[in-house]
Amino acid sequence: IELISKEIIENAIAPKSSKLSGPEYAQLTDLLVAKDNELNETLKLAAEQAQINKKLDVLKAEVERQDQDINHLQKQLKEAEQILSTAIYQANQKLQSIARANRRPVSSEELIKFAHRISASNAICAPLTWQQGDPRRPYPTDIEMRLGLLGRMSDPINGHLLAQQNSMSDLHRPGHPGEIPASQQNQFAWHPSGEMHISVGQGTVPMDTRNHKQENDDVEAMSTDSR
């Protein structure tokens, strides 16, 4: 187009003797019009391509958004799979526990008796009326701590030396395994008054068994009532 336009302009300013003839000038004019139409078609096609490019950009953004949604859903599915796997494992464990319970059933009367024994002795919680200084549970009480292994081990006579003597006597003592030593056989003794005394060191300490007897009576009474 540029060359044709330059040729037409030069022909217009040229002297009459150098100008192109009419048919040649008309041919240049027709060629310029054809090139202009071709340029307009190209511009129109470029505009269409620009619109298509915009649509492609929109579709690309939509694809990226869909990819993010898919990744999010995939993550949720993985979490759901893990939760379901855990639930299935726990359900299988529960079914196995139920099967074991069905193979070894326990009667309700035994459970009630055992519950009465626990509740009567306050083995898992203190009584509702328990206060500071109450000899009942929560155990261990002071006397039980003193009569226990830790309390006797704190005594240098009955602790370190006694432990060494017992270990040496267990190694060299004749008799059958599991036989109770004579020193431990006489550790507990009953007196005519009905009290039980326990030997600690060189002396004896009385133990009050009235509470235990009362608790046992309560257990028997509740067990009888449950029947």
pLDDT digits (tens, 9 = 90+) for 115-158: 887 777 666 666 677 777 776 655 555 676 677 676 676 665 55
Tell the residue number behind the tokens 């599915």, with chain if given: 77
Q: What is the pLDDT of residue 71?
A: 95
pLDDT digits (tens, 9 = 90+) for 17-34: 666 666 776 777 777 788
Helix (H, G, I), strand (E, B) or coil at 171: helix
Query: How confident is the model over 166-175, as a mean pLDDT?
Result: 49
Helix (H, G, I), strand (E, B) or coil at 206: strand
Asked if 170 contacts 180 with a C-beta cutoff of 8 angstroms, the reply is no
Radius of gyration of the chain (CA): 53
Query: How confident is the model over 157-185, as a mean pLDDT?
Result: 47
Query: How confident is the model over 33-58, as a mean pLDDT?
Result: 90
Cα separation values, 76 from 62, 69, 73, 80, 84, Å: 21, 11, 5, 6, 12
First to last CA, the chain: 117
Which residue did the predictor score with more confidence, 157 or 98?
98
Which percentage of the chain shows pLDDT scores above 90?
25
Q: Please tell me the distance from the alpha carbon of residue 31 to that of residue 39, in angstroms, as a whole number.
A: 12
